[in-house]
């Protein structure tokens, strides 16, 4: 006579394998979808998915003395776990996502690591820690399976992507599954990918182009005007091409009023040292003056570049929206 306990355990084991076989077909996890702004890497399948209209995401910003450093960001949060074919490497996957981020908007890299430079068990200790669960199709508690799985070739990237409509905090973690819990036997040596996206709530960048008439009126009334359409490459004084429309309006304002002379004042948020931000803001102001002279024909003597860094904020630096408002160029009547 068969032992009822053995029959139950055998049935449970078979059911788990059947569930796993279904989960690892070519179809995605039921109810899952790609992020609307970030395409998947070709050949990958969704094995985990969690979305919330408002939640707190946690992103790794570094590691010191074997301790992970992180920051919390609130907003619309999406987490997607993909599994890829064996011929995809974690580094190749990361490069694909970096290209997608560049296509989406202005990218600011905050932290990245690969291989031995990453925390030894970044997947278990941070990505899939017990307090950071994600619904999945593995058919078992991922806090046990994902934590105790062996990984290799880890890569991690965290940064911000700004678009005309929104600001996204994004992280990508990828690794090769080397084995561990039985639930991963069929995907051993396959890359696992964790994509996390938090769209910052209430982020409203100023997008309208201020006209030459607006500038002269505001300067006449207030003595200065703040401009937000002048953009630079991250951590650089190199102007982006999309800055040209507002630079042209500055030139038109100066051409329309031959008596108008200005200070071009660069401002930053407070991330980084005071000395660094003062230097960066001055270099950016110089770039604006040089562009107005070389491309738009304004006499250099009518403009004086000044950099004040973070010391004259118009909003709090405690939020992303506030920091975005503080990163600006002002025209001040001279």
Instruction: Identify which of 196, 198, 241 has the alpha carbon closest to the alpha carbon of residue 82.
Output: 196
pLDDT at position 48 over 60: yes
For the chain, the domains span 4-200, 212-333
Report the Cα–Cα distance between both ends of the chain, in Å, rounded.
Answer: 99
Q: State the pLDDT at residue 204.
A: 52
Q: State the pLDDT at residue 295.
A: 95
pLDDT bracket for residue 177 (50, 70, 90): confident
- pLDDT tens track for 72-120: 888 889 999 999 998 999 999 999 999 999 999 989 999 999 988 888 7
Give how far Cα 34 sits from Cα of 24, 28, 56, 77, 192, Å.
17, 10, 20, 13, 15
Residue with tokens 């990918």: 193
Q: State the pLDDT at residue 181.
A: 52
Q: State the pLDDT at residue 164.
A: 75
* Range list of β-strands (E), 188-236: 191-200, 224-227
Residue by residue, what is the 3-state secondary structure of 107-163?
Answer: EEEEEEEEHHHCCCCHHHHHHCCHHHCCCECCCCCHHHHCCCCEEEEEEEEEEEEEC
Q: State the pLDDT at residue 56.
A: 83
- pLDDT tens track for 149-168: 667 899 999 999 988 778 89
Instruction: Identify which of 159, 42, 38 has the alpha carbon closest to the alpha carbon of residue 92.
Output: 42
Mean pLDDT lowest for which of 22-31, 54-63, 80-89, 172-181? 22-31
- pLDDT tens track for 178-225: 765 545 556 778 898 999 999 986 555 544 568 999 899 989 988 999
- Average pLDDT, stretch 19-43? 76
- Burial classification of residue 223, based on how many CB atoms lie within 10 Å of its CB (0-12 exposed, 13-18 middle, 19 or more buried): exposed
Rounded to two decimals, the pTM is: 0.55
Give how far Cα 197 sits from Cα of 159, 321, 326, Å.
10, 17, 24
Q: State the pLDDT at residue 4.
A: 37
Q: State the pLDDT at residue 126.
A: 84
User: CB of 309 within 8 A of CB of 284?
Assistant: no
- Average pLDDT, stretch 59-69? 83
Sheet holding 191-200, edge to edge: 45-64, 67-83, 191-200, 167-179, 150-162, 106-114
Cα–Cα distance for residue pair 5/126, rounded to 1 Å = 37
Instruction: Identify which of 188, 182, 200 has the alpha carbon closest to the alpha carbon of residue 151.
Output: 188
- Average pLDDT, stretch 21-40? 77
- pLDDT tens track for 263-304: 999 999 998 899 999 999 999 999 999 999 999 999 999 999
pLDDT bracket for residue 36 (50, 70, 90): very high
For 212-333, the fitting CATH number among 3.30.1330.60, 3.10.580.10, 3.40.710.10, 3.50.50.60 is: 3.30.1330.60
- pLDDT tens track for 306-326: 999 999 988 778 777 778 888
pLDDT at position 2 over 70: no
């Amino acid at each position: 006579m068969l032992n009822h306990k053995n029959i139950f355990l055998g049935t449970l084991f078979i059911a788990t394998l059947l569930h796993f076989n279904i989960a690892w077909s070519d179809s995605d996890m039921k109810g899952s979808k790609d992020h609307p702004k970030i395409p998947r890497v070709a050949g990958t399948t969704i094995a985990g998915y969690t979305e919330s209209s408002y939640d707190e995401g946690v992103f790794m910003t570094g590691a010191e003395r074997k301790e992970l450093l992180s920051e919390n960001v609130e907003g619309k949060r999406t987490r997607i776990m993909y599994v890829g074919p064996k011929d995809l490497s974690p580094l190749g996957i990361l490069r694909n996502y970096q290209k997608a981020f560049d296509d989406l908007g202005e990218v600011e890299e905050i932290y990245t690591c690969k291989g031995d430079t990453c925390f030894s068990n970044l997947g278990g200790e941070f990505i899939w820690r017990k307090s950071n669960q994600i619904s999945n199709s593995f058919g078992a508690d991922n806090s046990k399976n994902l934590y105790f799985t062996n990984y290799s070739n880890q890569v991690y990237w965290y940064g911000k992507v700004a678009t005309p409509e929104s600001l996204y905090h994004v992280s990508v973690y990828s690794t090769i599954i080397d084995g561990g819990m039985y639930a991963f036997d069929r995907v051993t040596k396959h890359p696992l990918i964790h994509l996390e996206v938090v769209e910052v709530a209430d982020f409203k960048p100023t997008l309208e182009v201020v006209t030459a008439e607006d500038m002269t009126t505001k300067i006449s009334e207030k003595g200065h005007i703040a401009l937000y359409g002048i953009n630079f490459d991250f951590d650089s004084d190199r102007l982006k091409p999309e800055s040209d429309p507002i630079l042209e309006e500055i030139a038109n304002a100066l051409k329309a009023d031959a008596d108008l002379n200005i200070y071009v004042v660069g401002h930053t948020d407070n991330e980084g040292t005071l000395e660094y931000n003062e230097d960066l803001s001055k270099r950016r102001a110089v770039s604006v003056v040089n562009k107005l002279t070389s491309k738009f024909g304004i006499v250099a003597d009518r403009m004086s570049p000044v950099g004040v860094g973070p010391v004259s904020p118009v909003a709090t630096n405690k939020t992303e929206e506030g920091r975005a408002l503080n990163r600006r160029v002002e025209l001040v009547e001279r």
